[in-house]
């Protein structure tokens, strides 16, 4: 599933998880580093598919209910729940109006919502912030204002995408710092 922050046009194509408390999953974790409270996000629930064209083709060949057709591209329960939102989407696809199908496709591929918050620090898996990199030597990670004080890893304001980037940063910054400390003690 793709998700994006509108103002900056940051996009991720990752999985999305519907939980009993809201949205989660890799897409939400990725975008959460960029999202600002009160800012809407746009979610494409069928990325890579021209859903309007697919629904129009289905209308020409099928008598199945719209939700059953959508289940080709969405989880069946999500398709059922989404179609229950409007009476025009609760019918066989060959009986649906073209405008209703186009509207359905638009809603699914440009679902705009404004998150109401997060689960907070206790549940956080993604964090931003830390010691400002401008206050550190880019070669040694030594604090410019306090010689002999070094910062590495996730305590520094460097946030990587999901997939091990934070681990890579932690190891690389530790290696750079260790090399600098070894050179300073020789």
Q: What is the predicted pLDDT for the residue at 163?
A: 74
Q: What is the predicted pLDDT for the residue at 56?
A: 96
- 145 within 8 A of 135, measured Cβ to Cβ: yes
User: How does residue 21 score in pLDDT terms, banded at 50, 70 and 90?
Assistant: confident
pTM recorded for the entire structure: 0.73
What share of the chain has pLDDT > 70, as a percent? 94
In CATH terms, is domain 1-116 a member of 1.10.8.260? yes
Domain boundaries, the chain: 1-116, 127-184
Residue 29 CB: number of other CB atoms within 10 A? 17
């Amino acid at each position: 599933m793709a998700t994006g922050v509108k103002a900056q046009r940051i996009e991720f194509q990752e999985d999305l998880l519907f939980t009993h408390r809201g949205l989660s999953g890799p897409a939400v974790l990725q975008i959460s580093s960029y999202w600002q409270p009160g800012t809407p996000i746009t979610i494409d629930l069928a990325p890579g598919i021209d859903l309007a064209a697919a629904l129009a083709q289905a209308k020409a060949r099928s008598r199945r209910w719209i939700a059953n057709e959508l289940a080709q591209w969405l989880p069946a329960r999500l398709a059922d729940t989404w179609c229950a939102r409007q009476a025009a989407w609760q019918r066989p696809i060959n009986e649906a109006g073209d405008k209703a199908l186009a509207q359905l496709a638009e809603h699914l591929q440009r679902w705009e919502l404004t998150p109401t918050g997060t689960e907070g620090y206790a549940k956080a898996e993604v964090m931003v912030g830390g010691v400002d990199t401008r206050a550190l030597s880019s070669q040694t990670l030594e604090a410019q204002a306090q010689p002999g004080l070094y910062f590495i890893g996730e305590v520094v304001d460097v946030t990587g995408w999901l997939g091990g980037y934070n681990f890579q940063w932690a190891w690389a910054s530790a290696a750079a710092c260790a090399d600098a400390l070894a050179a300073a003690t020789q």
